[in-house]
Structure 1
Amino acid sequence: MSFQQGLSGLNAASKSLETIGNNVANANTVGFKQSQMQFSDIYASTLSGSGAAQIGIGTQIARVAQLFSQGNITASNNPLDMAINGDGFFRMSSGGTITYARNGQFELTKEGYIENAAGGRLTGYMADANGVVAIGAPTEIIINKADLAPKATTKYELKLTLDSRKDPLVANNFNPDDPTTFSDSTSVPVYDSLGNSHVLRTFYVKTAGGQWSVFATNDGVPIGYTLPTSATNPPVPLGTMQFGTGGVLTGTTPSPLVAAMAVTTGAVTPFNISIDHAGTQQFAQAFGVARQLPDGYKAGTLTGFDVANDGSIVGRYSNGQVNVLGQVILSRFANPNGLQNIGDNQWVETAESGVPLTSTPGSSGLGAVQSARVEESNVDLTAELVNMITAQRYYQANAQTIKTQDQIMQTLVNLR
């Protein structure tokens, strides 16, 4: 009798509707991956082993497969939200238990950990004070909110255009307070080892057709000599610059030019600044500054941070500097369908999934991380509603086979 076939069909249709219902319920769950019910047929065993006259006895659930296709990526107002564009899972630590997630909705705890709604902490690699990421065993990422220490200026890149039309001057007549004694000048803020700001001003005195003397002052105080100048205390230049007939800088004497900055702030004194004039030229045009890049900075407080595509967490500081604080890592599996779903948008590793391959985003076949983005559920509502209609018809059809069988049984019972 075919009651068993119909009953198995009803059960299969019911489980299929449960799966569809779960997909529909999670259509707005960030990082959710839809499930698909897969069935297999059932045949009774026979002693003869012949299958010529076998009739199946129904259907059964073969497995519930999750479809790890990419969900749509949409913008978010939270800079800590992250979306994975490609393969991989976020590696989370929950009290020492490692879980994996595609939902990248994170927030910062008071201790500085990056945490999801289930309390899992994002793991990765930490960086030292210089922003160098230490690749090793993954650890829970904690944002270092300490101030960025100041850095003394040691190098100053300065690319100029000097006006070749200027008349030559006498270098020994140079006085930083008298603009008629120098051709041009420019200034830039520099920093000592404690982060105190000082003004380094450089002066350029044309002494011949292709030769210029370079003088400097530190907060208005001449470097290398004192005012007033005299025959016994002449102004001392940092050095000279030589130009070829094409107006290109051919060299400096000495090379490089060095400004010794004496300070009374309690910082290291003097601190030497190497001035690199590479690219400076002498043309028949007005004086101009093309590049002015000193490398020091004052202390700064952390004002925010961003996550780059390679997972680097880049902190922004009030002094305009940036520094790498850590790096997010991703994991991928040879068989993601072997992962066990434990709820809260998380999976755990199993023997069927295989061991994870863990690396930085964008490497080893892993996807990229996008900041201030979330990955939507990959549920196609239109398809699920059509599947729901199909499952309903399937349920009705199996119920009809049971009803028909019941009518046949009733006919047999009524035979006398």
Structure 2
Amino acid sequence: MAGFNTAITGLKAASTNLDVTGNNIANSSTIGFKASRTEFGDIYATAVVGAGSSNVAGSGVTVTDIAQNFQAGTTEFTNNNLDLAINGSGFFQLDDGQGGVTYTRAGAFELNKDGFVVSKSGKYLQGYGLDSQGNRLPIGNLAVDQKESPPQATGNIGLSFNINDAADATLLSTPYDKDVPASFTYSTTVRTFDSLGNEHTIKYNMVEQRPVRDVYTVDASFPDTITISGVDVAFDAAGTPNAADLELLKDTDKRIDTSTLLFTQDPAAAAGVGSISFETYAKYSDYGDMLINDAAGIDITPEPTERDANENYAYTLAVPTADTELNIGGVPVEISVSPTIPTLREVADLILARETEIKDRNPNVESVSVVEEAGEFRLDIRFKADYGNIGSEFIVTETDVATGLPSTEVLTVNDARTYEGDSSFRGQYQMFAYLNGTELLDVGKSVDPGETGFSVKATDTLSEVGSVMLGFDPTSGFLNSVNGTSFSEGSIAPALTIAGADPANTETEITLDLTGSTQFASASIVKASSQDGYTKGDLIGVSFAETGEMVAAFSNGQKQNLGVVAFATFENQSGLQPSGDTEWTATLTSGNAVLNPPGTGLNGSLRSAALEQSNVDLSTELVRLIEAQRNFQANSKTLETLNTVTQAILQI
């Protein structure tokens, strides 16, 4: 009877099903395990052509396949960065070092004694190496081959700050001294590193320009030639400078207000003997050196004196002979000579009595005063420094009341005390930089005119230690000029180059970016500070990014990509052949592995500090176990029944 064979095939199939189900249950806690399913097919004998195949009884059952379910298991997070899980499609590729390549979803990796990333069975995890530029190299064994991070000298500093506009520059002590906090407006410090990894600091002191102008005065005999900032300025016997020389001086040294350059005759000296004086703009007060030489080339540079940057109108007062009306900034002042002629003091008092009205009508006026000197009275109308050059905005006139015609009896312009205002100091700061708070650094200050290395062409100008100018728009408070270079609001500030801040390497230069700095009426603070240097660091850990990069972390805060994990995909992953240790090998049925980084193509992403659990569903497997047991018992019953029938036949 063929039924015996049929029953035996059923027993074998049920036994195989029991084996597969038991294996699934046994691996329900195996990392990366994929459950299998037993698939069956019926057996029929080959029919002869023309035979009645529809009446042929089956010959039993056969196991057609033990198929694996590659559905992802649950992800469980761990505290080990070398535990990896694949979120999506793909397999880790492993190499046993002897040419054997397998694939797995079990990501419980560790480092061996040589620093290679290996599986629990000692096989090497495969991935892309990286060159020094970060370009991917061919597939190979991933390894942690960087145990330390070498130091890097600071090359770039980003510094953004706010300086309190409400700070009063007139209260700064003079002269400036880095060790006297009262002599500078604001100070901040940035940490840096030299090329050997030693830590240093750069301290920045900001000194707001005071509303003053430097006045230089030197003795001279004319005709003569005086070298000012490297420019030969010839003076004639009357002390008048050559116009062409004056133009060249103005173009060469932007600090000098050439309109103030004049010769003053000494009344007690011989003809042509006196002094020459000139002033610098307010924003260049106390900035740099002014080099002055006589005809013999001898340095005659004096220490400058200071005058206020305020504009001042000065008049010598006299007593009128007729009724006179003064109009000072739109305020009339009437001076009558009847019934008695006033004294100079009375004329002065009449003007001073209208001071409040003059100031109320003219907000740019700071004070109206009368000064008595050697029996003479001088009227000074002083304007606020912030208004700079007043020009025609303020008018002083004198009128004869009887005739209505202009008069000059009371007021005579005092040229010695009349000067224009200068508001160039507004929003201007000298910035000094010190290495470790002591050594003054070169931050790009141009060599002063007249000194070796100076050039009229800015691109050829050498730099020297000293301060540079920072300018803020006095109306908006935004930084708008750095070291003489202006830029528009909202754009990137011109970079400064700091030299000499690396004691270990004199060739190191640091780029300083001050973009975003402001001068608002609020507390002086650092808004942002960064630098790219660091000391030597030791390896403290390895982690992986979602896109597969293996990142080494060092004790100096740096990170370095050491490689990229490779994911393998197959045209038919069901064709993979299990090889033990939760690994598979490629077959002709599966096709060759296609390798790509995580997150590309069909690949899933990588999760670090996570493991993919077995995808076995115990409830389902227990039901299958009951079904397999039932099938085994049923086939046993078939065999038992056939045996009874056979015994009956033998007894006939």
TM-score (norm 1): 0.92
Residue type of the alignment partner of 2:24: N
Question: Is 1:162 matched with 2:171?
Answer: no
Give the 3 Å change call, closer, same or farther, for CA 77–27 of structure 1 in structure 2.
same
How many Å separate the matches in 2 of 1:261 and 1:101? 56
Deviation per CA, 1:97-144: give whole Å up to 9, x if none: 22111111111111100111211011112234x5x4332320101102
Residue correspondence of structure 1 range 212-223 to structure 2 within 5 A: 212-220=429-437, 221-223=439-441
Aligned 1:9-48 pairs, distance under 5 A: 9-47=10-48, 48=50
Report which of the two structures shows the higher radius of gyration computed on alpha carbons.
2
Are the equivalent residues in 2 in contact too, given 1:171–1:213 (CA < 8 A)?
no
Distance 1:262 1:371 in 2: 41
Counterparts of 1:224 and 1:256, CA distance in 2? 14
Q: CA deviation at 1:262?
A: 4.5
Match of 2:546 in 1: 309
Residue in 1 that maps onto 2:187:
185
- The CA distance in 2 between the partners of 1:90 and 1:235, in whole Å, is 59
CA distance in 2, matches of 1:357, 1:256: 49
| Unmatched segments (≥5 aa) in structure 1 | 226-231
Which of 557, 579, 585 aligns to 1:348? It is 585
**Compared with structure 1, are the counterparts of its residues 127 and 97 closer, same or farther at alpha carbon in structure 2 (3 Å cutoff)?**
same
Is the 1:238–1:259 Cα contact (8 Å) retained in structure 2?
Answer: no
Cα pair 2:472 2:518 within 8 Å, conserved: no
Q: Which position in structure 2 is the counterpart of 1:238?
A: 468
Provide the C-alpha distance between the structure 2 equivalents of 1:244 and 1:341, rounded to a whole number of angstroms: 77
How many pairs were matched up?
A: 405
- In structure 2, the residue matched to 1:388 is 625
| Deviates most, 10-19 or 148-157 | 148-157
SS across alignment from 1:269: coil
2:595 to 346, 358, 370: 358
Partner SS state of residue 388, structure 1: helix
Can you list the C-alpha shifts for 1:224-256, whole angstroms capped at 9, x where unaligned?
49xxxxxx9998213423336222222322521
CA 1:357–1:71 in 2, change beyond 3 Å: closer, same or farther?
Answer: same
| Distance in 2 (alpha carbons) for counterparts of 1:200 and 1:50 | 102
Residue 339 (structure 1) aligned to one of 567, 572, 576:
576
1:53-104 Cα shifts (integer Å, max 9, x gaps):
2321111011111110000111223221111111111111101322111111
Match of 2:114 among 107, 111, 114: 111
Is 1:126 the counterpart of 2:125 in the alignment?
A: no
CA spacing shift, 1:147–1:27, aligned 2, 3 Å: same
Paired with 2:501 and 2:519, the residues of 1 have a C-alpha distance of 31
Map 1:397-416 to 2 at 5 A: 397-415=634-652
Structure-2 residue corresponding to 1:228: none
Instruction: Find the aligned partners of 1:82 and 1:197 in 2 and give their Cα distance.
Output: 38
Q: Report the CA distance between 1:270 and its aligned residue.
A: 4.5
* 1-structure distance, mates of 2:29, 2:474: 69
Counterpart of 2:558 in structure 1 is: 321
**Distance (whole Å) between structure 2 residues aligned to residue 238 and residue 50 of structure 1:** 108
Contact 2:441 2:465 in 1 (8 A): no
Partner SS, residue 638 of structure 2: helix
2:166 is paired with a residue whose SS is coil
Q: What is the SS of the residue equivalent to 1:213?
A: strand
Contact conserved, 1:153 with 1:190, CA < 8 A, in 2? yes
Distance 1:363 1:224, change over 3 A: closer
Superposition deviation, residue 41 in structure 1 = 0.8
Return the alpha-carbon distance in structure 1 between the equivalents of residues 536 and 51 of structure 2.
83
Q: Is the 8 A contact 1:88 1:366 kept in 2?
A: yes
Contact map agreement 1:88 1:332 (CA 8 A) in 2: yes
d(CA) in 1 for partners of 2:5, 2:530: 82
Checking the alignment, whether the CA contact within 8 Å between 1:133 and 1:327 is kept in structure 2 is no
Q: Aligned letter for 1:107?
A: E
Q: How does 1:42-191 map to 2 (within 5 A)?
A: 42-47=43-48, 48=50, 50-95=52-97, 96-128=99-131, 130=132, 132-168=133-169, 173-191=175-193
Residues 156 and 510 of structure 2 are in contact (CA less than 8 Å); yes or no, is this contact kept in structure 1? yes
Contact 1:216–1:238, Cα closer than 8 Å, also in 2: no
CA change 1:97–1:184 in 2 (3 A) is: same
Residue segments in structure 2 that go unaligned for 5+ positions in a row: 210-424, 444-449, 452-463, 486-493
1:108 corresponds to which letter in structure 2? L
Instruction: Give the structure 2 partner of residue 257 of structure 1.
Output: 496
Aligned AA for 1:219?
N
Query: CA 1:284 to 1:124, structure 2 compared with 1: closer, same or farther past 3 Å?
Result: same
Deviation at 1:50, TM superposition (A): 4.2
Q: Does 1:210 align with 2:423?
A: no
1:371–1:49 Cα change, 3 Å: farther
In angstroms, what is the RMSD of aligned CA positions?
Answer: 2.1
Give the letter aligned to residue 256 of structure 1: A
The answer to whether the 8 Å contact 2:31/2:612 transfers is: yes
Q: 1:330 aligned to 567, 570, 578, which one?
A: 567
SS class of match (1:137): strand
* Alpha-carbon distance, 1:389 to partner: 0.3
TM-score (norm 2): 0.60
Contact 2:442 2:500 in 1 (8 A): no
Counterpart CA distance in 2 for 1:171 and 1:180 is 6
Residue 631 of structure 2 aligns to a residue whose secondary structure is helix
Question: Which segment drifts farther, 237-246 or 394-403?
Answer: 237-246
Q: CA deviation at 1:43?
A: 0.7
